[in-house]
Amino acid sequence: MQFRLEKRAEPSRFMLYATPVGAVILTMIVGAIIFSLIGYDGIGAVREVFLTPLTNAYKWQDLGIKAAPLIIIGTGLSIAYRANVWNIGAEGQFVVGALAGTWVALATYTMSGPWILPLMILAGVVGGALYAAIPALLKTRLNVNEILTSLMLTYASIQLIYYLIRTVWKDPMGIGFPQTRRFAASAQLPTVIPHTIVHLGVPIAIVVALVAWFIMSRSVFGYRMRVVGAAPHAARYGGFSENKTIWLAMLVSGGLAGLAGVLEVAGPFQRMVPGFATGYGFTAIIVAFLGRLNPLGVIFAGIVLAITFVGGEVAQTTIKLPDAATGIFQAMVLFFLLAGDILVRYRIRRVVTTPAGAA
Amino acid sequence: MPHRLELIGITKRFPGVLANDNVSFSVKPGEIHALLGENGAGKSTLVKMIYGIMQPDAGEIVWDGQRTVIANPKAARALGIGMVFQHFSLFEALTVLENIALGMDAKIPARELEARIRAVMTQYGLLLDPHRTVATLSVGERQRIEIVRALLLDPKLLIMDEPTSVLTPQEVEQLFEVLRKLAAGGCSILYISHKLHEIKALCDTATILRGGKLVDTCDPKAETSRSMAEKMIGAGLKDIVRAPGRTMGAPKLVVSRLSTKKSGHFDVPVDGVSFTVKAGEIFGIAGVAGNGQNALLDALSGEILGEDKDAITIDGYPLGLLDTTGRRKHGLCAVPEERNGHAAVGDFSLSDNSILTARNRLHMVMLGLINSGAAKTYTGKVIADFAVKALGPGSTAGSLSGGNLQKFIMGREILQRPTVLVVSQPTWGVDAGAAAAIHQALVDLAAEGSAIVVISQDLDELLALCDTLAVINAGQLSEAQKVGEVSVEEIGLLMGGVHGTSEARDAIPA
Ligand SMILES: Nc1ncnc2c1ncn2[C@@H]1O[C@H](COP(=O)(O)OP(=O)(O)OP(=O)(O)O)[C@@H](O)[C@H]1O
Ligand SMILES: [Mg+2]
C-alpha cells in the first residue's frame, strides 16, 4: 500500500480555509516539542505564547494595537500578492510613511488644530506609496526584480531614520538621545477607548480591511489584480496592462504600509526613535498569506500574529523564553501553511499496488 | 493473438457528469486505433485512466491478458504505455537532451542517453538536434521531443491526445510516417483527433464515444468523414446555410501597412500587412503555422500596441493606438488561438471569464463595480446558445473539455455582436457538429453586417466559410482573392514559400 497525491478537479474550498487553522495548530504542537527538546517548558511556552494573550483581559489592548498595523499592511500586501507583484519591502514603506508623518508633526510643532493629524496621515500614505514607487519604476522601466529592490530599500529606510534623528530632527531637549522631540498634542493619535492604549488606528485597520475586501471582490480593480495574478497573458487580452497593474499594486501596498507607519508613530510612539522599525512589515507578509490573500482573512491572521508578539513578550518574562522564540513560532506558521497548501490542489489517495503495476 | 489492451466496463464520474459509462473495447498489437467523439464525450478522461493519471470508478483494465491496476503514470510507463499530451511539459531554457533526461524514471548517464536518443531518432526519422534549447524550437519540434521521450521507453502502446491540432500539414505527414513505422514494429497506438480525414488516412479501427458511452466501432477507411461525424453526434450534420442574395456593404475594417516589431527570438512579426474587409464579408487568412499569425492577431486585437493610428480603422475611425479595451468599445473583438491562459483563465468561473472581455460592451461595470448578476445572465445565455457542456456559469473554465471551452469562448465574443470579429483557429479541437455550429454563427454574424476575419491553418475550413482569402507567409500577406475564383493549388503555392520547415534547420549535426 502506498499514498500518493492526486490533483483535484477544482481547488478544495474546505482545505483553503482549513490549512491556515491547521498550520497554527501544527505550529503549537511542533513548537511544544522543539522547546521541550532544547530544555524549556515546551507546553508552557505554547500556552504563554498562544493562550495567555487571549485569556488575560489585560493583554487585549496590546493585541489590538499590535494587530492594527499588521492588518493594514497585510491588507495591502494581500492585494499586491494577488497580482503576483512581490512587494517584500513593506517594512521600508512603513518606515518612510512614519517619517513623512513625523516631518509634518515636527513642522507643525508650534501650531495646533484638528487638521494636523489628517495631514500627517495623508503624508504617511503618500510617503509609503512614493517609496514603493521606486521598485515599481525599476520593474516597469528596467525589469528589475521588485523582490530585491523593495527589500534592499528597507535597509536604506532604516539608515534614513538614524540619519534624521541624529541630525536635523534631533530633540533639542533630549540630552544627546538620538530621537525626535515628542509630538505636540494635535499630532498625537487619540485613544478610542478611555483609560486604555487602544488608539484610533485599531478601528481604522478594520475599516481598511473591510473596504479592501469589498473592492477586491466586487470591483474591476480587484478583478484586474486577480486576473493578472492568475493568467498574465489573459489579462493583457482582457485589456489590463501589466505595467499599470504593477504600479497600482505597488502604490496601494506601499500606501497602506505608509498609513500603518504614520499611525504607529503618532499612536504608540508619539516620536521617532531609533528602534521604530520592529518588523511589522515583514510579519505582515505572513499575515497576508495566512489570511489567504483575502482582506477578511487578513483580519484574523493579523490577530493570530499579534498574539504571538504579545505572547512572546509574556513568555520572555514568565518562563524566560528567548526573544527569538516569537520569530520561530511565526516562521513555523508560514512554513506549515505553505507546506499544507498542496492539499488545496491535491488530495492524498491511498493506492493499492498490484505486482504488475509496481514500478 | 491476445489483445494488447482490453477495457472492460470502464466508468468514471465527475461531479454532475458521467464522463465514461461502461466503456469496453480492445486494442490489438500493432493496431492504430482511433478514439472519436464529440467534445466532452469522455475521450481524454478515458486515456487518462489508461495512463494512470486518474482511476476508474468501476471497470477493469486488462494488459497483455492480465488484469491490472495502473496506479500512476510511472506504473503505466513501466508497463510500456507512453502518452503524448496536447500540452507539452518542457522547460524552455533547457536543451532537448536535458529535458528528456529530467523526464526519465531511471537515471541514465548523459552520454548513453544521448546515444539512445540519436538511435531512436534515426530509426524513426525524427530529426532534432539534442543540444538545441527548447525555446528555439517550433511546436512540431517540441512535440517530437515528447514522442522521443515516449519512444525511449520502447512502448507497447502509445497514446496521442489531439496531437495534430498544433502541427503544420508537413509536420502532420512526418508524424504519420513515424506512427506507421511504430505500428509496423508491433506498437499499438491509441489516437484521438477531431480531424476525420486524418483518421481515415491513419487508423485501422475507430471507436466512437457519445456522452461517455461507446456507441459504435467502425473501419474508418470504409467510412466518409461525414458518416463518422454523424455517428459521433448521432444525427445528421448540418450544412452552412447562407441567406440567398447576400450583398456586401461598404468597407468596414481597413488595415493598412500594419507592422509589428520582433519581440521574442522565434516570434515572426508582421510586415506591412494591408487588407480591407467589407460589411458582411468573411475574410480568411490561410498560412502555415508560425508565419506571423499570432503577431497579426495580437496587433489587430490591440494586445500589441500600434504606433500608427491609421493602420487599423473601422468605418474610417482610427483604432491603431487603442488598447484591447478601447478597440472592443469601438466594436472590434478578437479570439486568440490559445484557449488556456490566453482567451480564458482556467481557474476562474465561466462567469468571471465573461467579465474578461464582455464587461464594457455589455455594461457589466458601473462606477468601477462589477455587476456579477449581469455576467451570470450573459454566461448562461452563451452556454445555452452555443450548447456548451458545463454545469453552469459557476463552473471553472478549466473543468470544461477542450472543445467545450472553445465553444464558450467563441460564443462569448459572437454574442457581443461585434462590428468586426477577428478569430484565430475558431474550431480548434472542436468536434464536427460544434464546428458546424460555430461556422453557422459566424455566417449569421456576417449576415447582420459585421466584418469577420478568420485566421486558420485549415484550408478546408477557410474555403467552406470565407468569401475572400489571402495567405500569410513570413509575416507578409498576399493579395486577397475571391473564394471560388482561386484554386486550392494556387493557395497551396502561396503558402508554399514555406518558411521555417527547411530540412537544413532540422538536420542533426553529425
Ligand atoms: N477534472 C474534471 N472535473 C470535472 N469534470 C471533468 C473533469 N475532466 C473532465 N470533466 C468532464 O468530463 C466530460 C468528459 O471530458 P473529456 O475531457 O474526457 O472530453 P473529451 O472527449 O476529451 O472532449 P474534447 O474533444 O473537447 O477534448 C466533460 O463533460 C468534462 O466537462
Ligand atoms: Mg480532450
Q: Min CA distance, B137 vs chain A (Å)?
A: 21
Question: In the CATH hierarchy, which top-level class contains the domain B251-500?
Answer: alpha beta
Task: Give the model's pLDDT for residue A4.
Answer: 67
Q: What does residue B302 show for φ and ψ, rounded to 5 degrees?
A: 105, 0
Q: Min CA distance, B332 vs chain A (Å)?
A: 13
| Selected residues 294-323 of chain B with any CB under 8 Å from a CB in chain A | 301-303, 323
β-strand partners of B191: B34, B160
Summarize chain B as % helix, strand, coil (round to 5): 35, 25, 40
Q: What does residue B171 show for φ and ψ, rounded to 5 degrees?
A: -65, -35
Q: In A, which residues are within 8 Å of B303 by CB distance?
A: 236-237
Residue A118's pLDDT band, with cuts at 50, 70 and 90, is very high
Look up residue B369 and give its three cell numbers.
463595480
Residue B506's pLDDT band, with cuts at 50, 70 and 90, is very low
CA–CA separation, B294 and B475 (whole Å) = 10
Report the residue from B71, B325, B338 with minimal CB separation from A239: B325
Residue A253's pLDDT band, with cuts at 50, 70 and 90, is very high
Q: Min CA distance, A355 vs chain B (Å)?
A: 9
- Among A35-39, B399-403, B493-497, name the most confident range: A35-39
Tell me if B342 and A237 make a contact (CB, 8 A cut-off). Answer: yes
Of the listed ligands, the closest to the CA of B40 is: 1
What is the rounded (10 degree) CA torsion for A352, A353, A355, A359?
-170
Tell me if A218 and B370 make a contact (CB, 8 A cut-off). Answer: yes
By most ligand atoms within 8 Å of CB, the mutation choice from B401, B404, B428, B430 for ligand 1 is B401
- The residue extents of the domains of chain B are 5-233, 251-500
Q: Is residue A90 scored above 60 in pLDDT?
A: yes
Task: Give the model's pLDDT for residue B30.
Answer: 93
Residue A357's pLDDT band, with cuts at 50, 70 and 90, is very low
CA–CA separation, A13 and A297 (whole Å) = 14
CA–CA separation, B203 and B28 (whole Å) = 13
Q: Does B218 touch chain A (CB under 8 A)?
A: no
Task: Give the model's pLDDT for residue B265.
Answer: 57
Tell me if A351 and B328 make a contact (CB, 8 A cut-off). Answer: no
- In eight-state DSSP terms, residue B17 is E
Mutate to test the interface with A, among B53, B64, B72 (most CBs of A within 10 A): B72
The rounded percent of chain B whose pLDDT value lies above 90 is 53
Tell me if A227 and B63 make a contact (CB, 8 A cut-off). Answer: no
Average pLDDT of B356-376? 93
Instruction: Among A67-81, B86-100, B417-431, B485-499, name the one with the lowest average pLDDT.
Output: B485-499
Q: Cβ distance B294 to B270 under 8 Å?
A: no
CA–CA separation, B43 and B37 (whole Å) = 7
Residue A143: CB atoms within 10 Å: 8
Q: Is residue B505 scored above 70 in pLDDT?
A: no
Q: Is residue B507 scored above 70 in pLDDT?
A: no
CA–CA separation, A253 and A182 (whole Å) = 28
Q: Is residue B496 scored above 70 in pLDDT?
A: no
- Ligand 1 atom nearest B43 alpha carbon: 21
Ligand 1 site, residue B40, Cβ cutoff 6 A = yes
Instruction: Among A109-118, B147-156, B162-171, name the one with the lowest average pLDDT.
Output: B162-171
Task: Give the model's pLDDT for residue B164.
Answer: 75
CA–CA separation, A141 and B458 (whole Å) = 41
Average pLDDT of B344-349? 93
Task: Give the model's pLDDT for residue B503.
Answer: 36
CA–CA separation, A8 and B350 (whole Å) = 18
Q: Does B371 touch chain A (CB under 8 A)?
A: no
Q: In A, which residues are within 8 Å of B69 by CB distance?
A: 351-354, 356-357
By most ligand atoms within 8 Å of CB, the mutation choice from B11, B12, B17, B407 for ligand 1 is B17
Q: In A, which residues are within 8 Å of B374 by CB distance?
A: none
CA–CA separation, B311 and B300 (whole Å) = 10
Average pLDDT of A44-66? 92
List CB contacts of A124: < 8 A, sequence separation 6 or more.
Answer: A97, A98, A100, A101, A258, A259, A261, A262, A263
pLDDT digits (tens, 9 = 90+) for B229-251: 888 888 777 777 776 667 788 99
Distances (CA, A) of B262 to A338, B192, B268, B392, B447: 40, 35, 7, 41, 37
Q: In B, which residues are within 8 Å of A357 by CB distance?
A: 52, 68-71, 75, 78-79
Residue A314: CB atoms within 10 Å: 20
List CB contacts of B74: < 8 A, sequence separation 6 or more.
Answer: A359, B52, B105
Q: In A, which residues are within 8 Å of B301 by CB distance?
A: 237
- Among A259-268, B51-60, B141-150, B470-479, name the most confident range: A259-268
Residue A356's pLDDT band, with cuts at 50, 70 and 90, is very low
Sign of CA dihedral A268, A271, A276, A280: positive
State chain B's mean pLDDT as an integer.
87
Report the residue from B75, B328, B344 with minimal CB separation from A357: B75
User: What is the three-class DSSP state of A106?
Assistant: helix
Q: In B, which residues are within 8 Å of A231 by CB distance?
A: 341-342, 345-347
Task: Give the model's pLDDT for residue A211.
Answer: 98
Report the residue from A11, A237, A349 with minimal CB separation from B303: A237
Q: In B, which residues are within 8 Å of A227 by CB distance?
A: 345, 348, 356
Task: Give the model's pLDDT for residue A351.
Answer: 62
Average pLDDT of A94-98? 98
Q: What does residue B358 show for φ and ψ, rounded to 5 degrees?
A: -105, 0
Helix intervals (H) in A108-200: 116-142, 146-166
- In eight-state DSSP terms, residue B95 is B
Q: Cβ distance B352 to A203 under 8 Å?
A: no
CA–CA separation, A99 and B142 (whole Å) = 55
Look up residue A277 and give its three cell numbers.
522599525
Q: Does B102 touch chain A (CB under 8 A)?
A: no
By most ligand atoms within 8 Å of CB, the mutation choice from B45, B53, B428 for ligand 1 is B45
What spacing in Å lies between the alpha carbon of B86 and ligand 1's midpoint?
A: 14
Task: Give the model's pLDDT for residue A16.
Answer: 83
Residue of A nearest to B77 (CA): A359
Ligand 1 site, residue B320, Cβ cutoff 6 A = no
Task: Give the model's pLDDT for residue B504.
Answer: 34
Q: Is residue A28 scored above 90 in pLDDT?
A: yes
Q: Is residue B508 scored above 80 in pLDDT?
A: no
Average pLDDT of A202-225? 97
Residue B6: CB atoms within 10 Å: 19
Tell me if A231 and B370 make a contact (CB, 8 A cut-off). Answer: no
Task: Give the model's pLDDT for residue B262.
Answer: 78
Ligand 1 site, residue B140, Cβ cutoff 6 A = no
Task: Give the model's pLDDT for residue B170.
Answer: 74
What spacing in Å lies between the alpha carbon of B67 and ligand 1's midpoint?
A: 26
Cα radius of gyration rounded to whole Å, chain A: 22
pLDDT digits (tens, 9 = 90+) for B39-49: 889 999 999 99
Q: Is residue B502 scored above 60 in pLDDT?
A: no
Question: In the CATH hierarchy, which top-level class contains the domain A2-351?
Answer: mainly alpha
Look up residue B477 and give its three cell numbers.
500577406
Cα radius of gyration rounded to whole Å, chain B: 23
Residue B429's pLDDT band, with cuts at 50, 70 and 90, is confident
Amino acid letter, residue A158: I
Average pLDDT of B351-356? 96
CATH tag, B5-233 = 3.40.50.300
pLDDT digits (tens, 9 = 90+) for A176-189: 788 999 999 999 99
The rounded percent of chain A whose pLDDT value lies above 90 is 75
Average pLDDT of B1-26? 90
- Among A219-223, A314-318, B227-231, B430-434, name the most confident range: A219-223
CA–CA separation, B362 and B371 (whole Å) = 10
Amino acid letter, residue A272: M
- In eight-state DSSP terms, residue B397 is G
- In eight-state DSSP terms, residue A84 is T
By most ligand atoms within 8 Å of CB, the mutation choice from B10, B12, B13, B14 for ligand 1 is B14
Residue B435: CB atoms within 10 Å: 25
Total CB pairs under 8 A between chain A and B: 102
pLDDT digits (tens, 9 = 90+) for B88-144: 778 878 888 888 888 787 778 888 888 988 988 888 888 888 888 887 777 778 888
Give the closest residue (by CA) to ligand 1 atom 24: B39
Task: Give the model's pLDDT for residue B235.
Answer: 76
Q: Cα B307 to the chain's mean position, in Å?
A: 31
Report the residue from A236, A349, A356 with minimal CB separation from B303: A236
CA–CA separation, B106 and B100 (whole Å) = 11
Q: Cβ distance A132 to A253 under 8 Å?
A: yes
Chain A residues touching chain B at CB-CB below 8 Å: 2, 4, 6, 9-11, 218-221, 223, 226-227, 230-231, 233-234, 236-239, 241, 349, 351-354, 356-359
Same fold, B5-233 and B251-500: yes
pLDDT digits (tens, 9 = 90+) for A124-155: 999 999 999 999 999 999 999 999 999 999 99
CA–CA separation, A285 and B222 (whole Å) = 65
Task: Give the model's pLDDT for residue B473.
Answer: 86
List CB contacts of B102: < 8 A, sequence separation 6 or more.
Answer: B91, B94
Tell me if B359 and A236 make a contact (CB, 8 A cut-off). Answer: no
Tell me if B69 and A357 make a contact (CB, 8 A cut-off). Answer: yes
Q: Min CA distance, A146 vs chain B (Å)?
A: 22
Task: Give the model's pLDDT for residue A10.
Answer: 66
Instruction: Among A259-273, B28-42, B260-274, name the one with the lowest average pLDDT.
Output: B260-274
Kind of pairing, strands B157-161 and B188-192?
A: parallel
Q: Is residue B464 scored above 90 in pLDDT?
A: no
Q: In B, which residues are within 8 Å of A4 by CB distance?
A: 71-72
Report the residue from A219, A358, A359 with minimal CB separation from B369: A219
Report the residue from B63, B334, B341 with minimal CB separation from A233: B341
Report the residue from A6, A10, A352 with minimal CB separation from B69: A352
Tell me if B356 and A237 make a contact (CB, 8 A cut-off). Answer: yes
Ligand 1 site, residue B43, Cβ cutoff 6 A = yes
Tell me if B79 and A356 make a contact (CB, 8 A cut-off). Answer: yes
| Strand arrangement of the beta sheet that strand B188-192 belongs to | B81-84, B157-161, B188-192, B32-37, B205-210, B213-218
CA–CA separation, B430 and B443 (whole Å) = 17
